[in-house]
């Protein structure tokens, strides 16, 4: 995961070279790359990364891998829709290792689902969802890799939040002082 550290350093060094709008887009592109890097480390088919808007305390989708994933996304919780919002509120992961769904859910239904809160300074800043069509896809080795990935991802999410109007106004950020 050293490459995520390199991305983080590149973002820190280039923050003054772009307008706020351009910089937010660059950070989102780098977040997409990060999900791709995770896919090189562990096997999954879909992923979604959400960030928590600080003012409204609601989740906003930042990027997807594959088709993206969020279970029960039609159900509203305090922090937004779907299990991601529940995970953000409770600050507890959900791991459904062997989901049994009938054929009515398509040719390749999701069998494994993981939703992990991303916590910095005891506050949720995001949620990472992963899905696979195979049961028990996210076991011990994968969990260690995912936790390391999340730790490396936190500073990038914090950078994005500092530069996103949806997350926090730039004038409120000590990052720009």
pLDDT tens, residue by residue, 139-151: 999 999 999 999 9
Q: Is the pLDDT of residue 177 over 60?
A: no
Residues 111 and 129: their CA atoms lie apart, in Å, by 13
Q: What is the pLDDT of residues 69-121, one digit of tens each?
A: 998 888 998 888 999 999 999 999 999 999 876 544 456 789 999 999 999 98
Domain spans of the chain, in order of start: 2-176
The C-alpha R_g of the chain, in whole angstroms, comes to 16
Residues 146 and 130: their CA atoms lie apart, in Å, by 10
Q: Which of 162, 168, 153, 166 lies closest to 15, judged by CA?
A: 162
Q: Is the pTM of this model over 0.85?
A: no
Third-level CATH fold of 2-176? Beta-Lactamase (3.30.450)
Q: Is the pLDDT of residue 54 over 80?
A: no
């Amino acid at each position: 995961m050293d490459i995520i550290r390199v991305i983080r350093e590149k973002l820190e060094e280039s923050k003054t070279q772009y307008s706020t709008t351009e910089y937010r887009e660059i950070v989102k592109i780098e977040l997409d790359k990060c999900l791709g890097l995770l896919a090189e480390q562990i096997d999954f088919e879909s992923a979604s990364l959400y960030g928590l808007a600080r003012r409204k305390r609601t989740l906003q989708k930042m990027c997807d891998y594959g088709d993206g994933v969020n279970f029960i996304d039609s159900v509203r919780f305090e922090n937004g829709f779907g299990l991601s919002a529940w995970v953000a509120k409770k600050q507890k992961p959900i791991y459904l290792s062997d989901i049994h769904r009938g054929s009515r859910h398509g040719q390749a239904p999701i069998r494994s689902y993981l939703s992990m809160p991303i916590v910095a300074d005891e506050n949720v800043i995001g949620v990472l969802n992963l899905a696979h069509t195979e049961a028990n896809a996210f076991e011990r080795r994968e969990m260690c890799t995912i936790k390391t990935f999340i730790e490396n991802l936190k500073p990038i999410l914090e950078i994005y939040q500092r530069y996103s109007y949806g997350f926090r106004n730039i004038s409120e950020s000590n990052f720009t002082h």
